[in-house]
Every structure is written in structure tokens, then in C-alpha cells.
Structure 1
Amino acid sequence: MTDTHTTTTGEEQPSAQEFWDGRYRQSERLFSGRPNAELVAETQDLSPGHALDLGCGEGGDAIWLARQGWRVTATDVSAVALERAARHAEQAGVADRIDFQRHDLAESFPAPAGERDSFDLVSAHFLQSLIALPRDEILRTAAATVAPGGTLLVVDHTGFPSWEPGPHPDVHFPSTQEVLAGMQLNHCQWEVRTERLYEHEVTLADGRVMTRANNILKVRRLSD
């Protein structure tokens, strides 16, 4: 899970791992540890199977899925985040249900455990970054790993939050239609189950309560 957004610039950039390790080292805990509300709402009708959590961060979503009976492959580019996620999973008593793997998704992609060749659920929450990220290619690869009858859930921020002190003017936030177009799904093999805007309240450190909006796209694979 991330809290920033995709951009590309001509400036020299750190590697993805350097960037995100640095972000996580800024505080003892970057996220709340609670699962994303969109994940909870959009998976309540699914039977637990094998899930892939892309950009798992400190493990909040992966741990929640494991508690619901899922077996989870959870990946992130940050070794710092993964070390915390593994510790949190151990404390939650679900470490045996989660396989944490470090991947730079621009270079490698996690495979299902054992003899499986697909996932019943692939979750990509806020797979957005201030450094270059080939999102369309990553999401196409993610879609290819979804089993027939399985679900791909993509949740994105719709823009910078109102409290952002210095938004980046060159950042583009894709609509759900742009995400669909980028994944190049065969309409005979996939159906859109959810496509909507979700707004939620965020309590800032100074006590202010603000609103943040996210796009939710859930698609189901019908066949090979």
C-alpha cells in the first residue's frame, strides 16, 4: 500500500526500493494497520482462496485477508515494509497463512505458491508512486494471474488530498475507464462488477477531519 502518486520526470531518481525504504524509515509506522475499507466491502461476497496483495506495505490488508481464511501472497518493493509486515503477521497469529515476497513489480512478479498457477483474488490498493512506475504493464500482468471465476480489485486515489501542502502539477490520476483501457481486458472473458467513487473521512494528526476520494474498479474473470 502506498500513499503517493505516479509521475515521471526527467530528473535522476532513486531506485524504487531506495525511495520506499526511505519513506518507511521516516516513522515507526507509516499506516494504521487496519485493512482498507474498500477491500473489506468488495471482498465480503467472495469465498476465501488464494489472494495476491500487490504493494502490501506494512501488511494491514494481507493480515485481514488471512484472518478471513485466505492464503495470501503479499509483495512490496520495500524490505523495511516487509520486515514490519512479517512482524505484524506473527503478532496477529497469521504468519503461517501469508507468504511475504520482495519484488520490484517493474522487474519481477510473484508466482502463486505450490502447484497453483493463478490467484482467486488480486488486490492492488493505491499502487501509485511519485517515481516512475509502469502501472499499466503491471496491472496487465496481474490480470493474467487471475483464475477463472477470480477477482481483480484496483483502488486508486482520484487526486491529491485537500491538505497536501505541495501537489505535483504533472501528476495524472487515472479514471476507472483509463485503468480498464490500460489493462486491455478481453470483454468476452471479463465482467465489471464494481466501478464507483468512494469517499471516506481521514483524521489528520492535528485533529482535523478531511474527506478523501478513491476510485474502485472490481472485475471478474469469466473464462480462460
Structure 2
Amino acid sequence: MSDDAEDLAETQRQHWQSTYTAHPGMYGAKPSAPAVHAAQAFRAAGVTDVLELGAGHGRDALHFAREGFRVHATDFSPTGLDQLRRAARDQGVAGRVTATVHDVREPLPLPDSSVGAVFAHMLLCMALSSQEIHALVGEIRRVLRPGGVLVYTVRHTGDAHYGAGTPHGDDIYEHGGFAVHFFPRSLVDSLADGWALDEVHAFEEGDLPRRLWRVTQTLPR
């Protein structure tokens, strides 16, 4: 990683830490619409365990746990995961939730072929280079069992904030302190190489609104 990329990564880590500290449970308790969809897709695929990347304070991880899945939640913010653990205890699902501080630029802390599904809501479109995103999807492929399902969401180049704010190269723009990698469709397609690309669903979220894709892809058996 270059010095500029390392500086951006550390700045983003500190920004998320301070944001979760200042705004506990900032996204609320209600699960995201992609998580509700993913839980249904995972159940249809016979999955019983989920790895969530970029879980934050846990609204989606907790939804998976309430739906009966075993959940391994990761995030690079210890503050966010502390909030997740407290909420899991309060909701009586702590026995189904494991939370680990982890930076997705590093190898995933799981053995090969050890999990049935992976969920990542707006994690792949954080301040990650295209090379780091490809490496992460390679790690996801490594830890998924054959037939495992990946559901992820990303903001794309049709979003109103694409091209706005501070440019960092590689389709990464920083706006309001948050750096986002806006995905062209070609990046989605390249990440699905060797997978079954089941769906690329366009949707909107939030007040801007943010424009995203929800991508579902399955690892061949």
C-alpha cells in the first residue's frame, strides 16, 4: 500500500471511530433492506452461518442472529463492535454472535471453506483500491464453502456524489469526511469471474438518495 493510501486508510479508521463514538447506534436498530433480502437468500440456499464484513454497530448482524443464523461480525472500529456486543446481549442473541476487530485489507481471520455466506453492506465501496477489492473477494472465495453465497452492496458511478468532493484516484472520492469507491459495472463483472453472478439489483437508499447495486453471487460447488 502506498503512503497516500495508508494515510487515507488510517484517516478513515479514525473518522469511523469518532463517528460511532459521537453517534452510538447511528444507523438505528432496524436492519437494512439488503440484509432482509440476504437473510431470505441465505435461508433458501440452506445456509446456517454468516460472515458480515463491515458490521459497524451491528443492525444487520443482529438481524441475522434474530433470524437464527450464527454470525461472525467484523469491522475495523472497536467502538462499533462494542456497541454490537452490548446490543446482542440486550437482545438475547449473544450466543449466536462473534465480533472481531479486523481490517479487510488483511487476510480474513477464518480457515478455508469455513462459512456458508458472506454479507457486506457498503463495505466494498469504502476507501479500498480496485486491487484491494479484488484481493478481498479472493479472500471471501477462500473462506466460503462450495455453493456459498456472497451478497454485497456498493455505490456506483451513477450516484450523485460520484466525481464530487476530494478525488483520491481509482474512482474514490471523499465527501463529508467519508471516502467512497464508486463502482463501474465492469468492476462488478470482474469480481464475479469464476462465480455464478445471480443478480445485480439497482436500488436507492437514504436522503440524497445514494444509488447502489445489490450483488448476489454464488461459489460453484
TM-score (norm 1): 0.77
Q: Name the aligned partner's letter for residue 152 of structure 1.
A: L
Equivalences for 1:6-155 in 2 at 5 Å? 9=4, 12-13=7-8, 15=10, 17-47=13-43, 48-111=47-110, 117-127=113-123, 128-130=125-127, 134-155=132-153
Aligned to 2:209: 211
Structure 2: where are the runs of 5+ without partners? Answer: 173-180
Structure 1: where are the runs of 5+ without partners? Answer: 1-7, 204-209
Deviation at residue 63 of structure 1 after TM alignment: 0.5
Q: Name the aligned partner's letter for residue 153 of structure 1.
A: V
Work out whether 1:177 is the aligned partner of 2:186: yes
Structure 1, 64-73 or 142-151: larger mean CA deviation: 142-151
Deviations 1:13-36 (A, max 9, x none): 462643431232232332223222
Deviation at residue 57 of structure 1 after TM alignment: 0.2
Deviations 1:142-183 (A, max 9, x none): 12222122101111012596589x6334424113431331x3
SS of match in other structure, 1:44:
helix
TM-score (norm 2): 0.78
Specify which structure has the bigger relative contact order, considering alpha-carbon pairs within 8 angstroms and separated by 6 or more residues: 1
Specify whether residues 159 and 9 from structure 1 end up closer, same or farther in structure 2 by C-alpha distance, changes over 3 A only. farther
Q: Name the aligned partner's letter for residue 105 of structure 1.
A: V
Aligned to 2:178: none
In structure 1, distance between residues paired with 2:96 and 2:9 = 33
Choose between structure 1 and 2: higher helix proportion: 2
In structure 2, distance between residues paired with 1:130 and 1:192 = 24
Decide whether the 8 Å contact of 2:24 with 2:83 is kept in 1: no
Aligned-residue sequence identity (percent) comes to: 25
SS of match in other structure, 2:20:
helix
In structure 2, distance between residues paired with 1:108 and 1:100 = 16
RMSD, aligned α-carbons: 2.8
Decide whether the 8 Å contact of 1:175 with 1:215 is kept in 2: no
Decide whether the 8 Å contact of 2:107 with 2:139 is kept in 1: no
